[in-house]
Amino acid sequence: MQPTKQQIISVHNKILNDPIYFCEEVLGVPLWEKEREILLSVRDHKETAVRSCHASGKSFTAARVIHWWLSRYVGNAVVITTAPTFRQVKEILWREIKNAVSGKHIYPKDTILDTQINLGPKYFALGLSTDKPDQFQGFHSPHLLMVFDEASGIPPEIYEAADGLAPERILMIGNPLENTGRFADSFKLPNVNKIHISAFDTPNIKENKIVIPGLITTDDINRMAVYYGTESDVYKVRVLGEFPSLGVNTLIGVDEVANAIERSAKVLEHWEKKMGVDPARFGDDRTAIVVRQMEKVIRKETRYGLNTMQIVGLVLQIAKEEKVLAPNISIDAIGIGAGVVDRLQEQSWDVKGVNVSEKADDEEHYLNLRAELFAGKIKEWIKTADLPKDDDFYELANIKYKFNSKGQMQLESKEDMKKRGLNSPDVADALAMTFASPIRFVNMVATEALLPYDASIGF
């Protein structure tokens, strides 16, 4: 039976005023408490700012907001979305936008593209990157919705360009990675409706079971607590949904790590690969190996409980697989690492043993080589770096520093980090090792060991 005109009007009025009804009845997805709060906030407030923990369903919710807005103002609505990188625009938010209406027949066929919904000259949604602020000009509409995903990382000029469009509604949503900038300032302004999502607000944590697959879990929280400590900025941002403290003694901010994880850097063939190894024998520490090719970390491996010969085997295996030249392999030679270096050199692999407690090249500014590698090299490198999507690299945000009486910078020791309840920064230290050998731009192929490799030592 065809619906009557009155029934159609009634449903439209319901959609117009009730985004929860639209999502649950039209899109057919149940919502949890904070998702409902976000939808109602966009309906009722000009500007909404949502700071959230990791994996809380931020992009899922923003996508549903966008479809409700287009359904609310049929024929006369514009939605502009953006995020810090185009990869985030296309592969995260717009993937959710397309998934939300898959099989629902809400829009005419072929109107949804990778980052567009084309419904008419005054009726569309569009995903834009942040590299060209002038892209945000000219999108005027009485019913303009602006959605800023991962809002902490969006440059101020993009917000300024968006303000010039005089949007009817603004939704800013994301992890609170920086405690400065437009997103952070929004939580200090009286005219912005503020929403906070902690991991402990989410259904999976509240009910201590998987209620919604993909949301943060108790295991995720426990892992963050063990690796980074409950007082760390990483835990504050990714579990509690709080802004980082970014104290004056924090060397690398959690926002810098997050930006590097989202960044994509081009690798040129003539850039040699560097391998860094931070060996550990037993206990809680891990043997960590990182392979870097200039701005890009291309591989990370960690293992627990390896003996000296097993670490040697693992280094050889990865070096051969990644074609890393022996002189480009730097190994922390303190403790068990000395035996690893000796065994590899015995097999004619001319690897470099590094003692990070030795003096720095720049003795005026750094107490030792470890401080110089992190503060003098990684600190600058990470501004353009490309890190894997791997939480282990947030170890970089745990490392603190101070200055001694001579004005030299020194890093917090691993022992002092453990006193703060943190694990040893094994992956961060392995990354630092990749900066311990000179940069060379020669296209060469890694050599095999001159002596036959004894497979009996295992991996």
State the amino acid at position 118 in one-letter form.
N
Q: Decide if 394 contacts 380 (C-beta within 8 A).
A: no
Match 């409980």 to its residue by tokens.
305
Domain 5-206 has CATH 3.40.50.12280: no
Q: How much is the pLDDT for 294? A: 93
DSSP 118-148: EEETTEEEEEE-SS-GGGGSS---TTEEEEE
Alpha helices by DSSP H, 352-442? 369-371, 379-381, 414-419, 426-433
Residues contacting 454, CB < 8 A, separation 6+: none
**pTM exceeds 0.85:** no
Question: In the chain, which stretches have pLDDT less than 70?
Answer: 1-9, 246-248, 282-283, 439-459
Q: What share of the chain in percent tops pLDDT 90?
A: 68
**What's domain 266-457's architecture?**
2-Layer Sandwich (3.30)
CATH 3.30.420.240 in the chain: give the residue spans. 266-457
Query: Cα–Cα distance between 29 and 24 in angstroms, integer?
Result: 5
Q: How much is the pLDDT for 149? A: 95
CATH 3.40.50.300 in the chain: give the residue spans. 5-206
Task: Say whether 285 sits in a helix, a strand or coil.
Answer: coil
Q: Decide if 364 contacts 408 (C-beta within 8 A).
A: yes
* Segment 386-415, tens digit of pLDDT: 999 898 998 998 888 888 878 789 998 888
Query: Cα–Cα distance between 53 and 50 in angstroms, integer?
Result: 10
Query: Cα–Cα distance between 411 and 396 in angstroms, integer?
Result: 12
- CB contact burial 227-266 (16+ within 10 A = b; e otherwise): bbbeebbbbbbbbbbbbbebeeebbbbbbbbbbbbbbeee
